[in-house]
Amino acid sequence: MATAVKAKGRSAGRKLSMSGAAAPAEPIPARAYAARSATSPLGDFSFVRRAPGPKDVQIEVLYCGVCHSDLHTARNEWKMTQYPCVPGHEIVGKVVSVGKKVKKFKPGQMVGVGCMVESCRTCPNCRAGDEQYCDNEITFTYNSIDHKAPAGSAPGTQTYGGYSTQMVVDEDFVLSIPKGLDPAAAAPLLCAGITTYSPLRHWGVKKGMKVGIVGLGGLGHMGVKLARAMGAKVVLFTTSAGKVADGKRLGAHEVVISKNADEMARHANSFDFILNTVAASHNLDAYIALLKRDGNMCLVGAPEHPHPSPTVFNLIFKRRSIAGSLIGGIRETQEMLNFCGKHKIVSDIEMIPMQKINEAYERMLKSDVKYRFVIDLASLK
């Protein structure tokens, strides 16, 4: 009897499963804001997300941070934008449903999506957990070729980002947002947070080290908070005397006005690591000279016009180095979120409705934001 019941149970289970496969999930309608051209403001846009597959997580987007890359892409400043373009890769939302093979997430859970939604998964970098350095093809969250676009989409359809009400993402590219963090203020962790956390970790920042953060914007203010929480002595470099108090409030032990040559000279040969978050072209030598022997300055901003060429003597005379770093891998992004959960670190944000995005872009260009705009997607519902 017991055996018969078991057999029946198994059979019923299989039937349910097969019936699920036989009736595929429907594509998900989404509302969004999109740029239609490099020069037009972002406006209302409707599209459908793919029908969630067995490994997919369907997410109702609650908040999306506004990264400077969004603006660069919307306005085709990197000359590779496909239109319509729905930006947004600092996404926090609630799980609506999960595919039957999804193991890590459940409906109702608070989750995040960052800059990537897929990679090749087979190259040495992907296998090492550094999907952001995939040797083959990363599918970025927006403006990448969408190999999983809904059936019937035009060939080469691009991915659409988080300025939208719904996301459908493979669970391996979905992050868990720790309880206790404000979900809106956690959104910028998915790009600004990991972009600063990853190099700080990679270059071994810890107690006993002196760390510089160049620039106090969306990235820089996260860099200050994270480096401080890692135990380093943190010096913030800013061109703006008006940011001194705020830099200290955010966690900097010292704030140096980088235009003041005497202040800069006092720090010569003293830094273990400098995280340079400034994307505008500027004189790198002024910072390289502040590094100790074997010190590294890591750039996380890519300037539209090249920096003046750094002086080779500055590198040679202390075996200093200059590097670059791109976001972080998925495993490290989860590690960063957990670190932020433990240390109660989120971004300083200003919340806006979707309809204010064009105005927010203009204010970003004037650095008029402390320190990240976050879109409340409820404004689109």
Stretch that binds its own copies, among 46-54, 107-115, 249-257, 324-332 (CB under 8 A): 324-332
Among 302, 343, 344, 365, binds its own copies (CB under 8 A): 302
Instruction: Provide, rounded to whole angstroms, the least separation between the CB of residue 125 and its own copies.
Output: 5
Q: Which is nearer to its own copies, 145 or 351 (CB)?
A: 145
- Contacts (CB under 8 A) with its own copies, residues 268-287: 269
C-alpha–C-alpha distance, residues 295 and 298, integer Å: 10
Q: Is 80 in the site for its own copies (CB under 8 A)?
A: no
Closest CA to 377 of 74, 90, 71: 90
Work out whether strand 233-238 and strand 116-118 pair parallel, antiparallel, or are unpaired.
unpaired
C-alpha–C-alpha distance, residues 140 and 281, integer Å: 25
**Run of H or E including 342:** helix 330-343
Q: Is 311 in the site for its own copies (CB under 8 A)?
A: yes
Alpha helix ranges (H) inside 118-239: 124-127, 183-186, 192-202, 218-229
C-alpha–C-alpha distance, residues 168 and 31, integer Å: 13
Instruction: Provide, rounded to whole angstroms, the least separation between the CB of residue 174 and its own copies.
Output: 24
Q: Which is nearer to its own copies, 37 or 136 (CB)?
A: 136
Instruction: Provide, rounded to whole angstroms, the least separation between the CB of residue 202 and its own copies.
Output: 7
Among 89, 225, 307, 372, binds its own copies (CB under 8 A): 307
Peptide bond into 84 cis (omega under 30): yes
Q: Is 133 in the site for its own copies (CB under 8 A)?
A: yes
Instruction: Provide, rounded to whole angstroms, the least separation between the CB of residue 135 and its own copies.
Output: 6
- Contacts (CB under 8 A) with its own copies, residues 109-128: 124-125
In the beta sheet, which residues pair with residue 376? 63, 353
- Indicate the Cα dihedral angle 129, 347, 81, 352, nearest 10°: 150
C-alpha–C-alpha distance, residues 322 and 297, integer Å: 5
Task: Read off the amino acid at residue 210.
Answer: K
Q: Is 49 in the site for its own copies (CB under 8 A)?
A: no
C-alpha–C-alpha distance, residues 160 and 164, integer Å: 8
Q: How many CB atoms lie within 10 A of CB 205?
A: 24
Instruction: Provide, rounded to whole angstroms, the least separation between the CB of residue 114 and its own copies.
Output: 16
Instruction: Provide, rounded to whole angstroms, the least separation between the CB of residue 316 and its own copies.
Output: 3
Q: Which is nearer to its own copies, 258 or 325 (CB)?
A: 325
Q: Which is nearer to its own copies, 70 or 130 (CB)?
A: 130
The CB-side HSE value for 188 (13 A sphere, CA atoms) comes to 28
Among 322, 337, 352, 380, binds its own copies (CB under 8 A): 322
- Contacts (CB under 8 A) with its own copies, residues 342-371: none
Count of residues engaged in binding its own copies, rule: CB under 8 A: 36
Stretch that binds its own copies, among 36-44, 81-89, 304-312, 348-356 (CB under 8 A): 304-312
C-alpha–C-alpha distance, residues 275 and 89, integer Å: 22
Helix (H, G, I), strand (E, B) or coil at 172: helix
Q: Which is nearer to its own copies, 20 or 124 (CB)?
A: 124
- Contacts (CB under 8 A) with its own copies, residues 195-214: 199, 202
Q: Which residues bind its own copies (CB under 8 A)?
A: 124-125, 130, 133, 135, 199, 202, 269, 293, 296, 299-303, 306-326
